[in-house]
Each structure stands twice: as structure tokens, then as C-alpha cells.
Structure 1
């Protein structure tokens, strides 16, 4: 790609992305039904806190700490252990009842326990569920292997709830460490330590995230993808492209909304100067081959290995699988984000009509709902989806509200249950930083748009590309704030660019006018 075309594409992207995130930030603040003024004040406090930390990271003492290998390792170890301890505390406090928070969660853990104790059954207990939702098969496979290890060590007396909590915490911890090492390669030692600290300070990591489900379990795989891409860019070794492809496949099979990462990666790779044309083709080919290989081979392994029973994958897919267009259809229902009647409608088509026909039917209903509203009504509906998706900086509240039999019985749990005084603290702290991230992301994009320097398709561009892609996906997908959880690392890194923009602006304002000598 020529330099002129690259510059044009990057400018066009930043124009669209900056406008989109300014719109997201102010729309979600203005139409925030809970307490728009209080949330705005919290966001201002969040920005001031991040600016203070950014100024600290530029100080001589902090820079000396970050550049000294021994002291830096101590700081990184302490931050990672503090994060690990906080996650473990939250997970253990939610240990007894975590399977009651979500029907999907209960099915996955019950099946994993069954297979861990008695592998190679004739048929899974809840086989139809995994035929219907195949993207949860990898999650089942991971939990099965983890539970099997615990069962081999502890026997029949093993506490599988504890095993699940530990696995979830280890995944969050691994994501945190991968995040730091990725940030260090792009931002340097000081700002990477700053980003690592901000991660530890962000309350949503200790709420619903400590419940072992796909949101948390998928996070290290998404970060592994970014880390491998970073190493690919720095070393230009095709093996890192292959590793990135494998990580991308595993991330996507754990969380469908990570499809955005796949598209963003493909776009980002096109902009990368990976050496000679032949080497670049080898890097991209390695990524594509491993991604396609995992997406193709894992379902075959799951259906034919016998660990979860042997079944005809194609026949079960045609009979049971929920079509992708079902989620597009349901996203256009004013009673969303999840609608029981829409689920019953799609479920009623299963077993009678093939998958491709069910896809067409759901797509027809999607277009019927869109066309039944005039242009202004569609704009208003889409705005409502944007607000409902991005206004909740806890990324979890709907998960706790929808469960009627989940009763907090500890001081820690009261932080995460709406209606308690402690939750008010959790909500304002989470939303303050969440909206600070959004506003700083928009500021960073705007600064790059106006920059006279040559724009680079660097790691920050990749983060901004992923966030913009998620914004576009949520315009047509289910509107759940929980789906944003996997993009928190990219929000934190994109916010660093915004902090740089505000720091540069402040320096320009404070700079004294140069006067000519008398």
C-alpha cells in the first residue's frame, strides 16, 4: 500500500472514529437515566485522576523506577500480585452461588463436571445446548480439562466451584501480565507501568468478571493475539503470525464478539511494513492458516474425539444451531437486549427447517422490523442502543438484576448488587473511569486526526481500530454492556493516547509567549 493511500485511509478512519466516540461519550452521559450529573462529575474526577497518574509517570522518580530493571520487576510483581489477590477475594466471595447467576453458566459447569468425572460418554447430559450454541464448546473443553486435572488430584471430594473460581482468576491474571508486556513494547517502561496500575484500579475486574464465564476466560486469548501481533510487528518473524492466528481462533471460539478483533487484525496487517513482500505474505499466510485451521479442526475434534461423545457435527448443526441472524433480529426488538419471544420463535424453527432456511427467516424478520420504522424512528432506536450499551461502566449490572435467586451474603458481594449503598460507590468509581476512558479515547483519536506528522499504524491504532469496530458491531448486535468487557484493555491503552493529547494541550497553553529582545 502506497504512503499516500495509507495516509488517506488513516485520516479517514480517525475522522469517523473520533466523531463516533465523542458521540458515544456524550450520548451515554446525557441519556444516562441513573444520574447523568453525578456520572458526569465522576467522569471529570476520573480524568483528573488519570491525568495525575500520567504526570506522575513522567516524573524523574517514576522514570528512574521504570527504567531500572530490578526495581521495575519488583513493581510489576507487586502490581500483578495485588490484582491477583483482589480477583481471588472477589471470586471466593461469590463462590457458593456463582452458578445461579446465569443459566448458560450453570449448564456449562454442570456438563464439565460430568465429563471430568466420567469422560467418553455415549451422549452429553446437555448435548442439545452445545449443538445450539457451538461457540460454548471451547469453553466446555477448557473447563473439562481443568476439572479433570482437579479430579485426578482430589478425587470425588474436589470442589468444582473452587476449581472454576481459581481458573477464572488465573485467566484474568494472565491477561493482566500479557497486557503489561504488550504495552511495554508499544509505550515504553514508564507508560506501561502506568497502564498496568490503571488496570488494577478499574473496579469491574472485581465484579461480574470474577464469575467464571466466557467474558473472563476469553480475555487472555484476546490479549495473547495482541501480544503476538506486537511481536510480529517488532521482529517480522512469520512464526509470530502463526501464533497470532492460533490465539485469534481460540479467542473467537470463546467469545463471538471477538470477531471484531479478527477483522481489525486483517486490516492492521495490511498497513504493516513486515519486511519484503515475500516475508509479509508469509506472515499473513501463517496467521490465516492457523486461524482457519483452528476454526476448522476444533469442531471436528470436539465431535469426533469421543471425550464429549461422538456425534454427527453437520447433522446436529443443521438441526439445532441458533442462526447468527437470530441475534441481528433480536437486536431490532424494542424490548431487548434479550427477548424471550424471539428466542421461542427461533427455537420453534429448529428441527423442522434447515439452518440456512432459519438464517433467511430471521433475516427477513430483521428487515421487516427495520422497514416498519421511519428514518427518524430508526435513528432514535439506534441511539437508544448506543446509550444502553455504553452507559454502564460496570459492564455487569444487567447480569445481577436479572437473577432473582442470587442473594449477596457478604460485604464484598454487596458492592456488586444494585440497590445497596456499597454498590453506589462501585458504580460511580466504575463509571467515572469508564467515561474517562471513552472521552480520552475520543481525544486521542482527534489529536491524531489533526496531527501534521505522518500517522503510523502502530499498536494504539490497533486498539482504536478494535474499539471502533466494536462500536459498529453494537449498532446491529445485542445491546449488552457486558460484551464491552473484553475491550477494556484496548480502552485503557487508547486512553493513554488521550492523556498525551491533554498533556500536549496543557503544555501549549502554559507555554509563555516569546518576546523579541528590547
Structure 2
């Protein structure tokens, strides 16, 4: 060595030796043993290998020292608020031009219908398939329609102002949902893990496309995240009073979510399973009755609100409401190549005069289809459903948000394919889809690896990550039985990203261990 290098080497050994001398005897011996093993392994290498090994340890040690706890705290706070601001602001760049879109799906029907109503009764709407008939056909959207009509009535006279107002509410819900999941990750795995989640979540494009429209998907995104967060807070609380408080909030949020989208309550059900498999009977006896009472009360409140609207009378609902069995029968038709929406089957269900007649007809249709398909056909239909649910990297947001107010987005990225009709720029659309596909593949693979790790090994059932993992499994099973659609994954997307980042950290940690690189505590 050169003299200066020798001095630095001696100084480093002196610092290490002094740190060892300050340890308890057993720890000092362990530390010396570790260094002896490392030093002997280095000495047995060829000179170039030894130098490379020392260099790797030096680089890692310096990187670890840079990320002190204080800096992690600082970076997490910055990234948390950055995530909240970005996920609130970017949807405004993707505001949807609702009135003239050729794809008049549910959100557009609700938006345009309430614009016509201007806060008045739904009885003012014409009884057509895309106005009053829509709300009578789909009773699950009657409550949402009433709230939408009342809340945005002051903006109904100014269409552009209403678009901004709706986008603002939707963007706020999006930001709250994504940020709440960051708090969930921090609670379960610490700030370093949450810091990674913040950076990964900001790159998920559907947050900005769907974040610009206020439908049940965006409305329940924060409700799913908050229900999971509050449930985890309750599980981790040591005081009974805090457990009751957090379980109350989790149950309340879950009940509200259910009224807009039934799958939102899956998080609470997964929490019940977590308490049961870990024999936390005391906590289960707290939250289960609490949830039942809140569910009964909340459902009654919603029914009363709907009954207050003259257009949604008991007689009208009895005549026009589609039964729950309709969605199952529709998705299990052998002629349904996606397992999703099918207009022919909807018209078939509507042809029957009463709710009970529709239910009986749909049930019989489902049973006949199952017999007709046989085991091979059932497997094929499950494959179709899985494909229609999991192979859209953007959760089909480009289809459901066509087209955008922003002329740059509209000119270069908007594209719509409905049968023989094609509109927009397929090149820009394809490039955006391709970029998101790389993200989506990594997310799905890492997420399911983590879910398997948590659920397939009994020793991991005590890990509270069990709740988000089982929630995603529950949603997946539901979408096999129910109507399939990749959009139906959206309100669980933050939990999916969180699970994927957990597995990513595990892979990196294993890689460091395999290469004898020290990992951070």
C-alpha cells in the first residue's frame, strides 16, 4: 500500500476494534468470528476476487449509512405528500369529455342524466334504456344516482364546471385511497417499505385515467383502503378501547363501501378470517356484532333514501329490477366469449314481467348453460373470465374513459374500438398500453407470489398481511363467479401494489443474502 492507504487501513481497524471492545463478551466474540470468516474467505480468493469482494462491501456499507432512520423519515414524509398531491393533480390532465362520447356506459349515463335533472326528481327523466330505465334496471346505482344528483345539482347549469367539480371529488377519493394504503404499508412493514410503495404507486396509469371520473370504482377505492387500514390498526392495538374504536371505523367504512360496490366489503370478511384462524376470539366477538349492527342500520338507511325518490317506487322496482342471478347467468353463457357484459342476455332477462320471474328465468338459464358446457366448457369459461379480468394492463381504462378534454391526450393517446367503429390514435394508444404492460406483468407476478407465500404456509397466517392477501383472493374468486371485467380490480389496485412491493423487497433481500451482501435492519 501507499503510506496514506496504510494509515487509513489501520484507522479503520482501530475503529472496528474499539467498537468490538465496547460490546458484551458474547457479542464481541460473535463479531470477531464474523470478521474472521469474512477475512478468511477473502484471503482464499484470487487477488482480483478479493478486491471485488471488498469493494462490494464498501459500496453497500456506504449506501446503508446514507439511509439513516432520520433520512428515511424525511424521505417518507416527502414522498407521502408528493404521492398525495400527484395522484390528486394528475387526473385533471385526463378529464373526460362526457356528453358527446360514443361510449355511453354507466358513468356517462349517470353524469348526463343528473345534468338533465338539475337536482329534480328522477321521474322527470324519459323512461328509456339510457335514462330512467337504466336506474330501474340496475338498482345498485339508484343510491349513487340520488347522491350524484343532489351533490352536483349546483353545477348542472354549467357543464364545464360540473366536469371540473366531478373530477375534483374523484381525484380527492383517488388520492386518499392511494395515500391510505401507504399508511397501511408503513404500519405493517415500516417506512422503508412504504417509501418503495410510494414510488411504485405513482407509476400506475389507471389511477389518473379512472381518477378523472366518479363512479363506484373510484368512489370505493378509498373505502377499501381505509377499511383495511383501520382493521389493521385495530389488530395491532393493545388497548381494548382503541380496538373497539378502530373496528367501528373499519366496519362503518366497509358497510358504506358495500352500498356502492358489494366487493368492497371483502376486506372486512378477510379480516374476520384472519381473526378466526389466529383464534383471536375476543376481537372477533367485538367486531362481528358491531359490523352486523352497522350493516343492518346502513342498509336500512339506503333503502329509506331510495324509497324517498318517487321514480324508484316499490312497484317500479318490482317490474324492472334485474336480480343478482342475472349477472351470474350472463357471465356463464357459453356464447359469452369474455364472461363480461352481454346485451343479448340482458334483454332476455328484461323480457320477463316481474322480479321473481326474471330471477327464475335467469336461474334456469344458468343451470342449463352449466349442463350444456360440461366440465371442459366450464374450465374454458373460467379461462375466458380470467383473461378478461387479468390481461388488461390499464384495467381497460382507455376504453372506459374515452375521450379526454385535454387535446394533447385526445389527439395522441385516445383510441376506441367498438365493433366496426374505430376512433382515435391507435399508435399512441398502443405505446401507452405497451409501457403499462411491463408494469402490470411485474405487479401481477410479484403480487401472486406474495399471496401464495402468505396463504399457503400456515406459519405466515399470523402476519397481518394475510388480510390484504386474502382480500385479493376473495375478489378474484368473486369475479370468476360474477361478471368478469378488469375494471372491477381497480378499487383493490393499491392493495395489489402494496403486496407486490412486499415480495419485491423479499427478492432483493434474498439476493443480497445469496451474494453475502449485508442487508439493512
2:303 to 295, 299, 302: 299
**Deviation sequence 1:143-173 (CA, Å, 0-9, x none):** 234314657xxx7687222221222111111
Q: Which runs of 5+ in 1 are unaligned?
A: 1-54, 513-518
Q: Secondary structure of 1:479's partner?
A: coil
Q: Residues 114, 438 of structure 1: CA spacing in aligned structure 2 closer, same or farther, 3 A cutoff? A: same
Residues 482-501 of structure 1: pairs in structure 2 closer than 5 A: 482-501=487-506
Tell me, yes or no, if the aligned pair for 1:143 and 1:164 is still in contact at 8 Å. Answer: no
Q: Secondary structure of 2:394's partner?
A: coil
Are positions 1:411 and 2:369 aligned together? no
State the shift of 1:61 in Å. Answer: 3.8
Scaled by the length of structure 1, what TM-score is found?
A: 0.75
Residues 329-478 of structure 1: pairs in structure 2 closer than 5 A: 329-333=329-333, 334-335=335-336, 336=338, 337-349=340-352, 352-353=353-354, 355-396=355-396, 399-400=399-400, 406=403, 410-413=407-410, 414-417=412-415, 420-448=426-454, 454-478=459-483
Q: Residues 318, 268 of structure 1: CA spacing in aligned structure 2 closer, same or farther, 3 A cutoff? A: farther
Q: For 2:70 and 2:84, how far apart are their aligned partners in 1? A: 16
State the shift of 1:384 in Å. Answer: 2.3
Q: Residues 143, 80 of structure 1: CA spacing in aligned structure 2 closer, same or farther, 3 A cutoff? A: same
Q: Residues 66, 435 of structure 1: CA spacing in aligned structure 2 closer, same or farther, 3 A cutoff? A: farther
Q: For 1:343 and 1:311, how far apart are their aligned partners in 2? A: 20
State the shift of 1:395 in Å. Answer: 0.5
**Deviation sequence 1:10-51 (CA, Å, 0-9, x none):** xxxxxxxxxxxxxxxxxxxxxxxxxxxxxxxxxxxxxxxxxx
Q: For 1:225 and 1:450, how far apart are their aligned partners in 2? A: 24
2:92 to 80, 88, 94: 88
Tell me, yes or no, if the aligned pair for 1:207 and 1:396 is still in contact at 8 Å. Answer: no
Tell me, yes or no, if the aligned pair for 1:63 and 1:190 is still in contact at 8 Å. Answer: no
Q: For 1:135 and 1:395, how far apart are their aligned partners in 2? A: 22
State the shift of 1:344 in Å. Answer: 0.6
Q: For 2:470 and 2:76, how far apart are their aligned partners in 1? A: 30
State the shift of 1:118 in Å. Answer: 4.0
Scaled by the length of structure 2, what TM-score is found?
A: 0.75
Q: For 2:206 and 2:218, how far apart are their aligned partners in 1? A: 11
Tell me, yes or no, if the aligned pair for 1:99 and 1:105 is still in contact at 8 Å. Answer: no
**Deviation sequence 1:397-416 (CA, Å, 0-9, x none):** 57359x7xx58872223335
Q: For 1:60 and 1:493, how far apart are their aligned partners in 2? A: 26
Q: Which runs of 5+ in 2 are unaligned?
A: 1-59, 417-424
Tell me, yes or no, if the aligned pair for 1:437 and 1:492 is still in contact at 8 Å. Answer: yes
Q: For 1:499 and 1:245, how far apart are their aligned partners in 2? A: 31
Q: Which has the higher contact order (CA 8 A, sep 6+)?
A: 1
Residues 266-305 of structure 1: pairs in structure 2 closer than 5 A: 266-271=272-277, 277=282, 280-304=284-308
Tell me, yes or no, if the aligned pair for 1:396 and 1:482 is still in contact at 8 Å. Answer: yes
**Residue aligning to 2:174:** 172
RMSD: 3.1
Q: Secondary structure of 2:466's partner?
A: helix
Residues 17-166 of structure 1: pairs in structure 2 closer than 5 A: 59-62=64-67, 64=69, 67-68=72-73, 72-91=76-95, 94-95=96-97, 101-115=103-117, 117-119=118-120, 126-148=131-153, 150=155, 159-166=161-168
Q: Secondary structure of 1:322's partner?
A: coil
Q: Residues 324, 245 of structure 1: CA spacing in aligned structure 2 closer, same or farther, 3 A cutoff? A: same
**Deviation sequence 1:334-371 (CA, Å, 0-9, x none):** 3342212101101111xx23x23322220111111111
State the shift of 1:246 in Å. Answer: 1.9
Q: Residues 446, 160 of structure 1: CA spacing in aligned structure 2 closer, same or farther, 3 A cutoff? A: closer
Deviates more, 1:160-169 or 1:501-510: 501-510
Q: How many matched pairs?
A: 437
